[in-house]
């Protein structure tokens, strides 16, 4: 289920009800964004090319464009419920414990165990772990 904060952001962007889901190009997770973000893809590619040139790094614009445009639109309801296509669970390494991070124009979706193994993401892991524990406690309280 998409957390309320993220539903609000997507609604403000005019993308209420649709997630564009893709494999993140750098991290072992998925990213999601609203359809309106595709309007900026060419600008993003131009900026990434400029950054690569400035750093004297190679940049394959065709590969990066393909990565950006390889997504699936996934509907979500007003409660934030959506069904993540199995193929994305596989390529994103998503199991039973999904964690949502980010904000702004995109979010990332991580498997909690994978996030815990990713260097540099320790603080985000701890926050997601605490949220997962809170959610489990609430669910247990509702069962009683």
Residues 126, 108 contacting (CB under 8 angstroms): no
Per residue in 84-123, pLDDT (tens digit) is 888 888 888 898 888 999 867 788 999 999 999 999 999 9
Query: How confident is the model at residue 143, as a pLDDT?
Result: 64
Residues 52, 58 contacting (CB under 8 angstroms): yes
CATH of the domain at 57: 3.40.1550
Among left, alpha and beta (phi > 0; psi -120 to 50; other), residue 73 is: beta
Domain that holds residue 116: 4-143
Query: How confident is the model at residue 144, as a pLDDT?
Result: 57
In degrees, to the nearest 5, what angle opens at C-alpha 23 toward C-alphas 62 and 63? 10
Query: How confident is the model at residue 5, as a pLDDT?
Result: 76
Per residue in 128-143, pLDDT (tens digit) is 999 888 878 887 777 6
- pTM score of the predicted model: 0.82
Total number of domains constituting the chain: 1
13 token code pair: 């962007």
Q: Show the beta-strand stretches assigned E in 1-144.
A: 18-23, 30-33, 72-75, 98-103, 106-111
Per residue in 40-95, pLDDT (tens digit) is 999 999 999 999 999 999 999 999 999 999 999 998 888 888 888 888 888 888 98
Taking CA atoms, 52 is separated from 48, 49, 60, 136, in Å, by 6, 5, 10, 44
112 token code pair: 């909690």
């Amino acid at each position: 289920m998409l957390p309320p904060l993220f539903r609000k952001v997507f609604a403000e962007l005019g993308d209420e009800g649709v997630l564009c889901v893709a494999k993140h190009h750098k991290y072992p997770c998925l990213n999601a964004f609203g359809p309106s973000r595709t309007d900026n893809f060419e600008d993003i590619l131009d900026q990434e090319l400029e950054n690569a040139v400035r750093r004297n790094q190679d940049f394959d614009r065709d590969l990066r464009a393909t990565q950006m445009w390889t997504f699936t639109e996934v509907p979500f309801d007003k409660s934030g419920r959506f069904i993540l296509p199995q193929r994305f669970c596989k390529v994103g390494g998503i199991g039973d414990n999904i964690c949502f991070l980010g904000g702004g124009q995109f979010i990332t979706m991580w498997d909690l165990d994978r996030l815990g193994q990713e260097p540099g993401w320790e603080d985000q892991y701890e926050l997601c772990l605490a949220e997962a524990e809170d959610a489990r406690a609430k669910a247990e309280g509702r069962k009683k």
